[in-house]
Chains A and B, each alone.
Chain A
Amino acid sequence: MMPDLGKYADTVLSAYAASILLLIGLVGISLWRGRRVRAEMEETEQRMRRKNG
């Protein structure tokens, strides 16, 4: 399954690992903050509606 990477195995694997970790981190942080902000907005909107309604 694993391709033979020869003597550069560490190099290639660390490059892939570092990049994929960075990408996952970026997507994860974006999604996490997005969820939180969305929930907070809904909460705020409902509070406003209760007050006005």
Chain B
Amino acid sequence: MSSSEKMNALWSYANPRKFLAVTERLMPWLWILSGACLVIGLVWGFFFTPDDYRQGSTVKIIYLHVPSALMAINGWLMMLVMSLIWLIRRHHVSALAARAAAPVGAVMTVIALVTGAIWGQPMWGTWWAWDPRLTSFLILFLFYLGYMALWSAIEDPDTAADLTSVLCLVGSVFALLSRYAVNFWNQGLHQGASLSMDKKENVADVFYIPLLVCIAGFVLLFIALVFYRTGTEIRARRIRALQARERAGA
């Protein structure tokens, strides 16, 4: 197979019927695999890892906090790619996948924020600190909200897909700008912040392997949810089309 043929084979999944057929076959495996990874990872992390000498048992929150934060960002990136594909190649599935991913990404952002706040309470003595990373996630959540609100506000699906795609592009640029702006802003407030949020450093293997399993679980769950919800969106669109035909015929 030449590379262009391979590309064509890849694009054929953009056909809604083929997408539904393939995901239908994959769905059970994705659900089982993601569920297994999550259960193994979380049970391992919760029951069988030692406490950190400094943070005590709160270190166990890492198994929820880091994977959800990761998926919050990757969810937005995936929406960006899907929006670009829609704007350039006009595949309906990609626009609907972006729409399907937004609530999943938003929930991941909420999980990251909630676990962060709960973790921050005993560690920093406050539920909320305007730490650069926390703040950026809050802003990311606002972007998710705006994106979803725009989708639900517009009747015509193609118009909605176009507008939300452009919003996603512009939003990505400004979300990135906000990230750097927030870094700058908080340094301006108190030099050398004493609240180190870097958990990736000094994470020993005992914590690292269950963490990887949890991350795999979150990634798989994200994929499963997005596939499933995209299928729902495709069907909802088909219902609209059928009903329009019905009205036209009647």
Contact = CB atoms under 8 A, between A and B. Distances in A.
A21 to B, nearest CB: 10
Nearest to B231: A34
Given A5-B57, A12-B60, A37-B239, A31 B228 contact: yes
A3 B47 contact: yes
Contacts of B228: 30-31, 34
A37 B229 CA distance: 11
Contacts of A22: 107, 110-111, 114
Nearest to A41: B235
A44 B243 contact: yes
A15 B242 contact: no
Q: Summarize A's interface: helix, strand, loop or mixed.
A: helix
A30 B122 contact: no
A53 interface: no
A20 B238 CA distance: 33
Given A22-B111, A34-B229, A48 B64 contact: no
Given A44-B242, A47-B246, A15 B229 contact: no
Contacts, number: 97
Interface residues of A, number: 32
A6 B57 contact: yes
Contacts of A51: 246, 249
Q: Summarize B's interface: helix, strand, loop or mixed.
A: helix
A20 to B, nearest CB: 8
Interface in A1-51: 3-9, 11-12, 14-16, 18-19, 22-23, 25-27, 30-31, 33-34, 37-38, 40-41, 44-45, 47-48, 51
B58 A12 contact: yes
Interface residues of B, number: 38
Contacts of B243: 44
A17 B239 CA distance: 37
14 contacts: A8-B56, A15-B61, A16-B42, A16-B46, A16-B60, A18-B115, A18-B118, A19-B114, A23-B107, A23-B111, A34-B229, A37-B236, A44-B246, A45-B242
Given A16-B64, A23-B111, A8 B235 contact: no
Interface of B: 42, 46-47, 51, 56-58, 60-61, 64-65, 68, 103-104, 107, 110-111, 114-115, 118-119, 121-122, 221, 225, 228-229, 231-232, 235-236, 238-239, 242-243, 245-246, 249
Contacts of A7: 56
A44 to B, nearest CB: 5
Contacts of A33: 232
A8 B57 contact: yes
A38 B114 CA distance: 33
B58 A8 contact: yes
Contacts of B232: 30, 33-34, 37-38
